[in-house]
Structure 1
Amino acid sequence: LYVSRMDQSSSDASRPSLQQRLHQLTDVEKSIDVLLKNAQFCLNELAKEKQVGKSKMDEASANFRNALNFVESTLSSNMAYLSNVCVGTPHQGSTFAAHHKMALAAQCEQSLHSELASLTKAHFPKDERVGADDDQWMETTQLSIENSSGNTSILNSSG
């Protein structure tokens, strides 16, 4: 268990942060602009009867390929990240696990409350309560339980 937590924390450190992901997407936008400019230059040169030179065309096409590779790799990594987010796997900013644990804890608390109420009814039936009227019995069987938010909730075990 300790090893898996260490592996998870080291893999979290290697993952880009949300700000880094947004910066990458800004860089992708700039690269798309470079792609369009290089493509426009190549098409304009091909449309001319007398072209500038092969070296300029090769440079523009190499810049186009480099920008295209950057855009493709960056978008692929971000799409893989988003597919993990949609599936519910742990990721930066994920609150799914925390919400799930809270829901399970609330369900467990509710189950314990109902089990306690049924045990109280089974072991302390109403007719065995000697010398106590209903109001006093309810006051003595109420349990004060501190919940996770610090508020006190009252459980009436008689009912």
Structure 2
Amino acid sequence: MASMPLERLKVLDEIEKDIAQVLSSASHALAEITKDKPSQKQVDQQNTQFLNNLSSVKTELTKRINYLIQVSTGQPHEGSSYAAQKSLLMAGQRLDHS
């Protein structure tokens, strides 16, 4: 279980690298467009790479955000005992007030 946070950090590191690639593709496409005689093939190639990388980043960030939403709302999720601990605490408090 201790490796799960490390795995999540590795995924975030990969997302960061993908974001850098998105920026690089956008930069290359813009550099090509600003040339006196831009190559349409190069522009299209960089644009396709940009869109593919951007889609990948969006998908992975959406997964991470959904995970954080799940964790923050107390819904059961993989590797967490928070919901069970909360239920136990509430049951103990109900017993104290009975």
Is structure 2 residue 55 aligned with structure 1 residue 61?
no
- Who is 1:90 aligned against? 76
Q: How much has 1:94 moved relative to structure 2? A: 3.8
Is structure 2 residue 17 aligned with structure 1 residue 30?
yes
Q: How much has 1:56 moved relative to structure 2? A: 2.1
- Who is 2:5 aligned against? 18
| SS of equivalent residue, structure 1 residue 56 | helix
Question: Is the 2:33–2:43 Cα contact (8 Å) retained in structure 1?
Answer: no
Q: How much has 1:111 moved relative to structure 2? A: 5.6
After superposition, what is the alpha-carbon deviation per residue over 1:111-153, rounded to whole angstroms, capped at 9, x for unaligned?
67xxxxxxxxxxxxxxxxxxxxxxxxxxxxxxxxxxxxxxxxx
Q: 1:43 to 1:105 in 2, by over 3 A?
A: same
Letter in 2 for 1:31: D
Letter in 1 for 2:21: V
Q: Which runs of 5+ in 2 are unaligned?
A: none
Q: How much has 1:99 moved relative to structure 2? A: 3.6
Runs of 4+ in structure 1 deviating by more than 3 angstroms, as ranges, are none
Per the normalisation by structure 2, the TM-score is 0.79
Q: How much has 1:103 moved relative to structure 2? A: 4.2
Q: Which runs of 5+ in 1 are unaligned?
A: 1-16, 113-159
Pairs aligned (count): 94
Letter in 2 for 1:81: Y
**Structure (1/2) with the larger strand percentage:** 1
- Who is 1:43 aligned against? 30
* Structure exhibiting the larger radius of gyration computed from Cα positions: 1
Per the normalisation by structure 1, the TM-score is 0.52
Does 1 or 2 have the higher relative contact order (CA < 8 Å, sep 6+)?
A: 2
Q: How much has 1:106 moved relative to structure 2? A: 5.5
